[in-house]
Amino acid sequence: MKGLCIDLFKNYSLGLAGTAGVGTGTRSSRAFTHPFQRRRSNYQNQKHFSSSKLTCSSYSTKPCSATLSAVTAEVEEAKQTFNPEKAGLLVKELRKSFNSGRTKSYEWRRSQLENIAKMLEEKEKEITEALYKDLSKPEIEAFISEIVQARSSCNEALKELKHWMVPQKVSTSITTYPSSAEIVSEPLGVVLVISTWNFPFLLSLDPVIGAISAGNAVVLKPSEIAPATSSLLANLVEEYLDNSAIKVVEGAVPETTALLEQKWDKILYTGSARVGRIVMAAAAKHLTPVILELGGKSPAVVDSDVNLEVAVRRIMAGKWALNNGQACIGVDYIITTKDFAPKLIEALKYGLEQFFGKDPMNSKDISRIVSSTQFTRLAKLLDEDKVSNKIVLGGQMDEKQLKIAPTILLDVPEDAQIMQEEIFGPLMPIVTVEKIEDSFSVINSKPKPLAVYAFTNNEQLKKGFVDNVSSGGMLINDTVLHVSISGLPFGGVGESGMGSYHGKFSFDGFSHKKAVLYRGFAGDSDLRYPPYTPEKQRLFRAVINGDIFTIILALIGWSK
């Protein structure tokens, strides 16, 4: 019976994805690997989208003991799940809250941010546990890369909010004299944040912090691929935040599709470029602006003049100690010279043993692969004939535990799939070039990556990277850390995304910059009004050209 229930659910999910016209079979069945998520969504709908307190076991026992008709009823009930109509009601409800003006006040924004700070303080354990359930994320990694980052975003917003909200004065010109002008940051309205699974807590909360700081009402759609974190976020938002203006909708493709049919005032999407295109197409129907936080193949270039021990540690930290390579800014592949490659490989082998011991498959300090879909995808990348014989370290896999050992490959052919798509896992190809400067053309021959890391002591080479290589961000002599600088925008370019956030960029990303000019009633010159005379035209030209002498002549009637 259990198998039958699951099959029915799977079939249903495929059908739904088909009608939505956006899902693939793989995606849809993935969505139903977490049936609890669907159950929660149904329950949420009944409760007007508030998050539920259902426990996992209360759902999972149900289909197993159900009769066939009960299962059919369940499928029917599932069809009533979060649909465009319900999504429409949700947006309407939030728009009402936004239109009341409450979210615009400094006090409301501050109180929500304070509650987020409190939540991060009080629920650290729950957050860490959820991340462990979803990804076996080591506690310290979860703390540093998700909780601390979210905390610092929130604290910065609390510290700077007042300044960010102050209108920015700009100078005016003689054509409007006397006048003053300013740029007013106004909230956009009701915004949607769609998040992904690899840093499922931070990448959900961080944009929400920006949306709240800017005074918007916001719906968060966390990733169904990280169900424990998604569920926790739904509960925490309900417990800590103003639910009339901040909501979580859990679910997979059908729920996201229903949300995307609505008119939003901004959408921030984090995930793959494939879905990014779906999001942008849906947004275009309503002329909704988007921020797309996508990925790409981010390389690390290693010159031969570096401190190899430090460089290797930093590369390993930006690959395997960062969610086991499942990170948008993780190192995707390395480029080095042919001569230097053997030295680099030896250093990596030594470094990996220092980090994860002789048997990395049993290390507690490394995350697992998030799902069997991702595991199969990675296994396929490695299985290609022209790839599997290039492994110089690692290659072990345990499908049951969803574990893949840190794996290094040397000189994989460029047309192999592993060099064509973002790896997003623990596989690390090393590409060799004759001269290190050849790395520019290797990187530039591919779509623009989210990050480029260059390890070198050569000042000219550093400048060469900055001047000649286009990427979302760039970091010289380290990996990943550039995203911790809130004064730097975080975002991609080209295939790696558009728009950015972090720090004030988040506030700006969720604000409209309204141009406001103030004038009084004095100084109302005839010049701009009909009837138009040659004198007026002369004076007007003089004013436009800023020619003070001609202006004076014109004013006293002496101009030609």
Is 22 or 301 the residue whose CB approaches ligand NAD more closely? 22
Considering the complex, what minimum distance in angstroms separates the CB of residue 291 from ligand NAD? 10
124 in catalytic set: no
Paired with 427 in beta bridges are 407
Pick the catalytic residue: 156, 293, 422, 495?
293
From the number of C-beta atoms within 10 Å of its C-beta (0-12, 13-18, 19+), residue 398 rates as middle
Residue sitting closest to ligand NAD (CB): 295
Quickly tell me which residue has 């995808």 as its tokens.
377
Alpha helix stretches (DSSP H) within 366-481: 372-383, 385-388, 417-420, 439-444, 459-468
| Kind and range of the H or E run holding 49 | none
Binding mask 453-492 for ligand NAD (x = CB under 6 A): ---------------------------------------x
The reply to whether 141 sits near ligand NAD by the rule CB under 6 A is no
The reply to whether 381 sits near ligand NAD by the rule CB under 6 A is no
Query: What are the backbone angles phi and psi of residue 318, rounded to the nearest 5°?
Result: -90, 10
The reply to whether 272 sits near ligand NAD by the rule CB under 6 A is yes
Binding mask 416-435 for ligand NAD (x = CB under 6 A): ------x-x-----------
Is 141 or 422 the residue whose CB approaches ligand NAD more closely? 422
Residues within window 277-316 making contact with ligand NAD, judged by CB under 6 A? 278, 293-295
Residues within window 17-56 making contact with ligand NAD, judged by CB under 6 A? 22-23, 27
Residues within window 88-107 making contact with ligand NAD, judged by CB under 6 A? none
Contact between 524 and 191 (Cβ < 8 Å) = no
Considering the complex, what minimum distance in angstroms separates the CB of residue 321 from ligand NAD? 16
The reply to whether 373 sits near ligand NAD by the rule CB under 6 A is no
Q: What is the 3-state secondary structure (H, E, C) of 164-219?
A: HHCCEEECCCHHHCCEEEEEEEEECCEEEEECCCCCCCHHHHHHHHHHHHCCCEEE
The reply to whether 275 sits near ligand NAD by the rule CB under 6 A is yes
Q: Which of 136, 185, 213, 257 binds ligand NAD (CB under 6 A)?
A: 257
Number of Cβ within a 10 Å radius of residue 174:
11
Q: Sheet holding 451-455: strands in order across?
A: 391-393, 407-410, 427-433, 333-337, 299-302, 451-455, 473-476
Residues within window 183-222 making contact with ligand NAD, judged by CB under 6 A? 194-198, 203, 221
Considering the complex, what minimum distance in angstroms separates the CB of residue 98 from ligand NAD? 23
Considering the complex, what minimum distance in angstroms separates the CB of residue 224 from ligand NAD? 5
Considering the complex, what minimum distance in angstroms separates the CB of residue 452 from ligand NAD? 14
DSSP 220-272: EE--TTSHHHHHHHHHHHHHHS-TTTEEE---SHHHHHHHHTS--SEEEEES-
Nearest to 48 by CA among 90, 79, 99: 90
323: left (phi over 0), alpha (psi -120 to 50) or beta: left
**Catalytic center residues:** 293
Which residues contact ligand NAD (rule: CB under 6 A)?
A: 22-23, 27, 194-198, 203, 221, 223-225, 252-253, 256-257, 270-272, 275, 278, 293-295, 328, 422, 424, 450, 492, 497
